[in-house]
Amino acid sequence: MANLKDLRVRISSVKSTRKITSAMKMVAASRLRRAHEASIRSETYALAMKKCLTGLVKSLSERQEEYFVSGRGVIRPPKMLVGHQQNNTHLIIAMTSDKGLCGAFNMNICKRVAGMVLALEKEGKQAKIMCVGKKGYELLRRDFQEIIISKFEGIGKKEVAYSEAEEVAFKAISLFEAGEVDSCTVVFNHFKSAISQEVQVEKLYPLDNFLEHNPWKGLTDMDFLTASETGAVDKDDWELGDIMIKGEESVMNLEIDDTSSQYKVKAEDTHSGRGAGSWAPAGISTRKKESRKMSIPANLAGLKPPAEDLEALKAKYGPYLYDFEPSDVFILERIIPRFIVDTIFRTLVESIASENGARMTSMDNATRNAGEMIDSLTLLYNRTRQGLITTELVEIISGAESV
């Protein structure tokens, strides 16, 4: 039986632990509120970006089908839309936390990643892992050290910055451009409620899941190399002043350096700058034209707008009544990297919210368990103390009777 001193020390230690867990619970609850609000705000932008991307992909795929019917050849789609010809190497981005004390938050992610790696190996494919968060790297490196290619730590200490999402996305895009990986998925905890988080796997690229029908399926690399980059855009499609768009290379006199990365981050566009980072083709310089036609709505110019058969337009284009300048391919090549950055940013924000929710729940359970342990130890202490007092009294009485 433990003596009274040991019980007092243990009760004091558990009380100190309860104070810490209670404070951590309140801090996590405060951070959870801010993270959840940020998650809600990011959803609005994500939905708008997804709608824009869906319209662009639909327009491009329908135009390609029309080209096949009319025998006009192949439009060269963005590589990140249709992917590589092979799909042998898969990149997995595991989003975990930098700190512990959040229950099974990190372990659930690592279990899902481990299962995906083993499944890919059974199919004869290769997996590579990118760890976002210190805890995920510490857990995964025990079994998958050789396939972990990079790790990111310290993201979202106060709140997730867009530049941090760009850093992760740029690494993933660079691996695809270099041909080191063929596809990529993100594994993160989806925030359902403060007490419930669900592990989700979201495809990052290629974006062939946006294609209702893939008109480029079955084409070889040679077909894409010989295809027109903008699908042989006619000169009458649009006119910008004295600049006639006839191909992607002639748009605004762009000079493209083919030796550099296509999606290089401009150094002047940082998170604190004008655009929180800008994805653009590297080596591009733009010369402004002095004269350029400007499109003004007819009602603002005092003119009567021409009558159009809107029902006929809706039947042809559905909800995607858009005009693209210079072309849907040109815009899509610049929208896709932005969409990937936005997906990374949204999953990071959700992961931070889920982490704080898991930590708040875990610390609440720890505080409750500490209180129950204190009650149990206090009861044991009182019983032990009463037993010692009773023993002393019996010894005193026995001694007095013997005299």
How would DSSP label each residue in 17-66?
HHHHHHHHHHHHHHHHHHHHHHHHHHHHHHHHHHHHHHHHHHHHHHHHHH
Residue 285 has a pLDDT of 42
230-287 pLDDT, tens digit per residue, is 444 443 433 333 333 334 444 434 443 434 344 443 333 333 333 333 344 444 444 4
Max Cα-Cα span within the chain? 125
HSE (side-chain half, CA atoms, 13 Å) at 372: 6
For residues 314-324, average pLDDT? 55
Q: Delineate the domains of the chain, giving CATH numbers in brackets.
A: 1-234+320-398 (3.40.1380.10)
What pLDDT score was predicted for residue 20?
Answer: 92
What pLDDT score does 110 carry? 92
Work out the pLDDT band at 127, boundaries 50, 70, 90. very high
For residues 294-308, give the mean pLDDT.
45
Identify which has the larger pLDDT, 217 or 351: 351
Confidence (pLDDT) at 290: 39
Run of H or E residues at 185: strand 183-193
pTM for this prediction: 0.71
Cα-to-chain-centroid distance, residue 250? 35
Check residues 225 and 344 and name the one with the higher pLDDT: 344
Q: Which long-range contacts link 50-53 to residues 24+ away (Cβ below 8 Å)?
A: 50/339, 52/335, 53/207, 53/210, 53/332, 53/335, 53/336, 53/339
Angle between helices 328-402 and 105-122 (to 10 degrees): 130
- For residue 188, give the H/E element and its range: strand 183-193
Task: With cut-offs at 50, 70 and 90, classify the pLDDT of residue 117.
Answer: very high
Tell me the pLDDT band of 331, cut-offs 50, 70 and 90.
Answer: confident
Pairing of strands 126-132, 89-95: parallel
Report the pLDDT value the prediction gives residue 228, as an integer from 0 to 100: 60
The pLDDT tens digits of the residues spanning 131-150 come to 998 999 999 988 898 999 98
What is the pLDDT at residue 207?
87
Confidence of residue 370 (pLDDT cuts 50, 70, 90): very high
The whole-number pLDDT of residue 95 equals 92
Average pLDDT over residues 49-75: 81
Q: Which stretch, 26-30, 106-110, 207-211, has highest mean pLDDT? A: 106-110
Place 4 in a pLDDT band, splitting at 50, 70 and 90: confident
262-275 pLDDT, tens per residue? 444 333 333 333 33
- Percent of the chain's residues with pLDDT above 70: 73
Q: Which of 157-161, 181-185, 253-257 has the lowest mean pLDDT?
A: 253-257
Q: 77 pLDDT exceeds 60?
A: yes
Written in H, E and C, the secondary structure of 298-365 is CCCCCCCCCCCCHHHHHHHHCCCCCCCCCCHHHHHHHHHHHHHHHHHHHHHHHHHHHHHHHHHHHHHH
**pLDDT for res 267:** 37
Q: What is the pLDDT of residue 308?
A: 52
Q: What is the pLDDT of residue 344?
A: 92
Burial of 163 (0-12, 13-18, 19+ CB in 10 A): middle
Backbone angles phi, psi at 245, to 5 degrees: -75, 120
Q: How confident is the model at residue 295 (pLDDT cuts 50, 70, 90)?
A: very low
- In this prediction, residue 384 carries a pLDDT of 86
pLDDT at residue 109, rounded to an integer? 92
**pLDDT band per the 50, 70, 90 thresholds, residue 374:** very high
Is residue 191 within 8 Å of 36, Cβ to Cβ? yes
Mean pLDDT of the chain: 76
Q: Where are the alpha helices (DSSP H) in 178-282?
A: 221-225
Angle between helices 162-177 and 328-402 (to 10 degrees): 120
196 vs 294 pLDDT, higher one: 196
